[in-house]
Structure 1
Amino acid sequence: MGDVAILAPILLEFKRKYPKRKISVLTKNEFAPLFSFIESINIIPIDFKADFRGLLGLVKLSLKIKTLKVDAILDLHNVLRTKILKLLLNNIPFRVINKGRDEKKQLIQGKIFHQLDLTIERYIRVFADFGFNLSMKEPAFPPPKKLPPRVTKMLKGYKKPYIGIAPFAAHGSKIYPLLKMEKVISALSKTNTVILFGAKGNESKITQRISREFSNVVSVAGRFALDEELILMSHLSVMLSMDSGNAHMAAMMGINVVTLWGVTHPYAGFIPYNQPMDNCLMADRERFPKVPTSVYGDKYPKGYEKAIWTISEQDIIEVITKKF
């Protein structure tokens, strides 16, 4: 989801600079709300499992794309599925993102250790290939919106400032230990309302438990639709997140985002949009010298799942406090 959220500010800038140009975005159903804040774009939600499954499904999707009568196609994913679509749509100008896979491989192998191009910069280059020059010098964010009624009702009695915390990620190596996170929550909730984000199921159960143990803490995990969560994020003073989709969603809404990095590293290019490097708190590489061990956090040597533990609670609290 993070890769998708990074595209939103680019589309905002595109519409600002090229208001007469029409653009369609094909994306998975569940990601469509990420672009609902952008006026005058055609969002085409796709359900690959139900409607466009397998090779025949891709043929069907290519026919659907042809009905759009587009002048150009920008592939910002560069996976097998889009490579097949490129073959099926060979009569339409097609540009593909360079994800820098070789550079990232060298980074995780320890052959290099420096900042690689940001994902947003790689996206911008694909637009530039068709003559659309997007400088992104002025940050582009969705216009402010009032909190939805359901969110307002849940937050009744909780006062601003709101601090968001998204304590989960797809892989355990990217999750800050809950006992340490609870110390952060305890400190921040003394003078702020802490709002916990997460998914339905186990994440919701954990955040509900935490919200019962501390004052001024509320869990919204699994409670709202994605578009409602995004609006809520826009009302936060700061978001604390793992290296996960929540970090990128909060960043696209124009707020300060503090991120925690375990076996992954900002040098791979996934720093949230418009965030300074000092918002990124990283594992101690003196104790865990092989960091980053992977781009997505799914691969790491034994014991490296604890790399993120080396980030101190006090450092997190101090960085967040400075954001006000």
Structure 2
Amino acid sequence: MKSERCLLVFRFSAMGDVAMSASVIKEFLQQNAGMTVIMVSRHTFKPFFDDINGVKFHSLRSNDKHKGLAGLFYLYKELKKYRPIAIADLHNNLRSNILSFYFKAFHGIRSIKIDKGRTEKKRLTRRDNKINKQLKSTTERYADVFRQLGFSLNLSHKLIRNVATIEGSLKGYVRHNKAVIGISPFAKHREKVYPLNKMENIIAELNQLNYRLLIFGGGTEERIQAAIWEEKFENVTSLIGKTTLDEELQLIGKLDLMLSMDSSGMHMASLMGTPVVSIWGATHPHAGFLGYGQDLKDCIQIDLHCRPCSVFGNKTCYRGDFACMNGIDSGMIVEHIIEKINNGKTSFSDSTR
């Protein structure tokens, strides 16, 4: 590998942020012929980059060989073998800063860090005297890092369907005579989760319309809830704990539509070019985390003076009534989904699945 063609890129977590970085890196490589990106991230997220020409994935194993300062130095020694010309730090945390320091101190290699816009986001989320306006998207903040390194990059902000062939054992999940809808109803923080009883109302209505419904994303508790829905509704199948991340991406790429929270499900769908109807509570698209290429018109939310109360949904509702989610009518969400399915822009024929 020639050193003048190699660029280190850091984005270690979280899942949605790494998925967004993959969309940007794909367009970066399309517009900068001859470049190679060494993507450094958690091994779990490797499938996000498998189909991107020009990416070599290097796993961060922070729980074992890359743990602590000694582990980071070991990671630095692994990465220096690529002889990078620069570092695009899309994370800007302690680990990425230490790695960048090693490359600067020992090799004089330049690093540009993402500007996360913390001051703007504090003004957006503070309780009083909010400045509620659209902030720069996270994907554009990623792109700015490449631009500051001297590269040309113009993001399309368009959904591009992934045309990868789905594996035979998975075809049964998306073979249906009506639309196949993915549902990603969970999130890390409660304030980003639509109340499960209201989500069940949505599932019940979509099931009655004979849509195929696939449930994505979650751990043990979420798997139990999804299994209840699977048992209760004929057209519902839970994929939680049954598929790998790579298999989930294949299936998401064949959906007609995804219904998601402000969570990784939205960003995985965006990476695969699948349209998303998203539900927003404590958080807000104005913070810049709308899925890449998704339409603001497909964000289901209500106007409240307290929204957004946080960037990541990690603050407890100070009102105590969770009005931002409880005030969203489930019937309105169903109507929006039906309209989007029926407008003909999201439908697949069985042959394309």
TM-score, normalised with respect to structure 2: 0.86
Q: How much has 1:15 moved relative to structure 2?
A: 2.1
* CA deviations over 1:62-102 (Å, ceiling 9, x no partner): 12221110001000001111111222111111111000011
| Distance apart, 1:214 and its partner CA | 1.2
Aligned with 2:65: secondary structure?
coil
Amino acid at match of 1:172: R
Structure 1 residue 150: deviation in Å?
3.0
Pick one of 240, 247, 251 that aligns with 2:259.
Answer: 240
Q: Partner residue of 2:50? A: 36
* 3-state SS in 2 of match to 1:247: helix
Query: How far, CA to CA, are the matches of 1:215 and 1:291 in structure 2?
Result: 37
Quote the residue 1:221 is aligned against.
Answer: 240
Tell me how far 1:283 sits from its aligned partner.
3.8
Q: CA deviation at 1:131?
A: 2.1
Residues 237 and 255 of structure 1 are in contact (CA less than 8 Å); yes or no, is this contact kept in structure 2?
A: yes
Greater than 4 Å deviation, 4+ residue runs = none
* Separation (CA, whole Å) in 1 of partners of 2:177 and 2:314: 38
Residues 9 and 141, structure 1, Cα contact 8 Å, conserved in 2? no
What's the CA shift for 1:176?
A: 0.8
The aligned counterpart of 1:293 is: 309
Structure 2 gap ranges (5+) = 1-14, 342-353
Amino acid at match of 1:13: E
Question: Which residue is equivalent to 2:187?
Answer: 169
Cα deviations by residue, 1:105-141 (Å, 9 ceiling, x for unpaired): 1111143110010000100111111222221237364
State the one-letter code of the partner of 1:294: S
1:105-124 maps to which residues of 2 (within 5 A)? 105-109=122-126, 110-124=129-143
Which ranges in structure 1 are unaligned for 5 or more consecutive residues? none
Q: In structure 2, do the counterparts of structure 1 residues 69 and 156 end up closer, same or farther at CA, with 3 Å as the change threshold?
A: closer
Paired with 1:104 and 1:304, the residues of 2 have a C-alpha distance of 24
Which whole-Å deviations, capped at 9, do the CAs of 1:212-269 have from their partners, x for residues lacking one?
1112111111211101101100111110001101110001111111111111111111
Q: Residue 316 of structure 1 is aligned with which of 333, 347, 352?
A: 333
Deviations along 1:182-226, one digit per CA (max 9) or x if unpaired, are 111111122311111123422111111101111211111121110
Cα distance in 2 between the residues matched to 1:233 and 1:143: 10
CA contact (8 A) 1:248 1:272 kept: yes
Tell me the C-alpha RMSD between the 2 structures: 1.7
Report deviation, 1:172. 0.9
Residue 94 of structure 1: which of 111, 120, 136 is its match?
Answer: 111
Q: Does 1:69 pair with 2:86?
A: no
Alpha carbons 1:174, 1:262 under 8 Å: kept: yes
Q: Percent identity?
A: 37
In the alignment, residue 66 of structure 1 is paired with which amino acid?
K
Q: Decide which of 231, 239, 246 is 2:250's aligned counterpart.
A: 231
Cα distance in 1 between the residues matched to 2:117 and 2:44: 27
1:2 aligned residue (16, 36, 46):
16
Q: CA deviation at 1:142?
A: 6.4
Aligned to 2:9: none
Post-superposition shift, 1:157?
6.6
Partner amino acid for 1:95? I
State TM-score, norm by structure 1.
0.94
